[in-house]
Amino acid sequence: MKDYFGGREEQLVRYLNRVFHPEDAVLKEIRERSLKAGLPEIQLGSMDALHLEVLARTAGAKKAVEIGTLGGYSGTAIARGLGKGGRLHTFELERRHAEVALESFRKAGVLDRVMVHVGPALERLPEIEHEEPFDLVFIDADKESYPAYLAWAAHHLKVGGMVLGDNAFAFGEIVDGRSAGAEAMREFNKELAQGGRFRSTMLPTGEGLCLGVKIR
């Protein structure tokens, strides 16, 4: 689990955890159960999960989309932040991961506001477009598809809605990495920052969390 924020300094991590308490017993159980189930250890950091909940609350979000469910850690955070009658559509490629996530949502008491979609997100996303416009889209899936996910968000978010992308530093490769994932993340960041559809910023977490608000 990536539980650092603003760097890897252990003292800072301990301070943030002591003051903000980003991971409660429910989220801790999700993280530990996901690892025991054999899911990859790529869960969202606890402070980043807190960002998602607070931002969803700030936006008054009721209709949210998550691309990349994994064990349900980040989805639980988003679902907690949705307004009354809120709905989260979350997309997961692997059925085994989705099954773990369903149990997470049940234990967290948010299952009634979450719909899990299994399969390639770009193929399944059109199934929910009749519910647009959405208030929030969170992207944390295969990095090579980030530009395509951003294009979808740009078309289906409301003006004033927000898109967030995790791993925006491309695991340290964002400046000069030559992998396909790094190239895609540079394209994603540039479009979000300069494409004209969003006003955006970067939250300087350890992995980089991009935030854009749709302006047109």
Using an 8 Å Cβ cutoff, are 71 and 47 in contact?
A: no
Q: What percent of the chain has pLDDT over 90?
A: 88
29-55 confidence digits (pLDDT tens):
999 999 999 999 998 999 999 999 999
Tell me the CATH number for domain 10-214. 3.40.50.150
Structure tokens at 119: 């399969």
Q: How confident is the model at residue 183 (pLDDT cuts 50, 70, 90)?
A: very high
Domain positions in the chain are 10-214
Q: Reduce the DSSP state of residue 179 to 3 states and report it.
A: coil
126-160 confidence digits (pLDDT tens):
999 999 999 999 999 999 999 999 999 999 999 99
**pLDDT of 204:** 83
**pLDDT of 84:** 84
**pLDDT of 8:** 59
- 6 vs 190, residue with greater confidence: 190
**pLDDT of 12:** 85
157-178 confidence digits (pLDDT tens):
999 999 999 999 999 899 999 9
pLDDT at 83 over 90: no
**pLDDT of 1:** 41
pLDDT at 81 over 90: yes
Neighbours of 133 (CB within 10 A): 14
Q: What order do you get walking across the sheet with 209-214 strand by strand?
A: 114-118, 87-92, 63-67, 134-139, 157-166, 209-214, 198-203
- Cα distance between residue 115 and residue 127, in whole Å: 12
- Cα distance between residue 35 and residue 89, in whole Å: 23
